[in-house]
Amino acid sequence: MTITDVIQSLQLAPHPEGGWYREIYRSADRVQRGVESRSATTAIYYLLEQHQLSRWHVVDADEIWHFYGGAPLELLAYDPASRQLNRQTLHTVAAEARPVGIIPSGVWQAARSLGEYSLVGCTVSPGFEFSGFKFTADVPEHRAHFVGQMSEYTALL
């Protein structure tokens, strides 16, 4: 299948952070989070083409990435509290790749395909809400983190 075939078959639409997506599940079960009630979990298909990237962003819930097909995906996770960067390659099980990556709530994340395209799924719990999503570029003082080892990832802002 071509990239266009995959996008059409899965009925994907442009995602604000880059790439293509479609929500495929939103739990009817609700959880209370502070004063807000949210779905217990949500899931999407997410596709990144080689020329696209998932810009640095942060979500206020845990996110689990699942590799489905295409080229390996580089998933970057940066904890601003500890200033630790974790680079993962999502693909089929191999020496340096795993099919699942986990991004805890509040950890900055970005991703890019290492080939023509990467198709993954993302499961978020409690359920994803755009109100809980923020581009890292909108986080005050974010530039202070993009020095040293992190400076090579400034282009993903």
Under the banding of pLDDT at 50, 70 and 90, the label for residue 33 is: confident
Range of the domain at 96: 3-156
Amino acid present at 48: L
Sequence letter at residue 29:
D
Q: What is the pLDDT of residues 82-113, one digit of tens each?
A: 999 999 999 988 768 899 999 999 999 999 99
Of the candidates 51, 48, 37, the residue with the CA atom closest to the CA atom of residue 122: 48
Report the sign of the C-alpha dihedral through residues 92, 83, 48, 13, in that order.
positive
The answer to which of 8-12, 60-64, 91-95 has the lowest mean pLDDT is 91-95
Q: Which residues are within 8 A (CB) of 100 and not within 5 positions of it... i.e. 6 or more apart?
A: 64, 65, 66, 67, 90
What Rg do the C-alpha atoms of the chain give, in angstroms? Answer: 15
DSSP per position, 40-106: S-EEEEEEEETT-EEEEEEESSEEEEEEEEES-EEEEEEETTTTEEEEEEESSSBTTBBSEEEE-TT
Question: Rounded mean pLDDT of 21-43?
Answer: 95
Spatial CB neighbours of 105, under 8 Å, sequence gap ≥ 6: 59, 60, 61, 62
Q: How many domains does the chain have?
A: 1
Cβ–Cβ contacts within 10 Å for residue 104, how many?
12
Report pLDDT digits (tens) over 123-144. 999 999 999 999 999 999 999 9
Domain at 56, CATH number = 2.60.120.10
pLDDT for the residue 139: 96
Residue 131, pLDDT score: 93
The whole-model pTM stands at: 0.94
Question: Once rounded to an integer, what is the mean pLDDT over residues 4-21?
Answer: 96
Q: What is the mean pLDDT of the chain?
A: 96
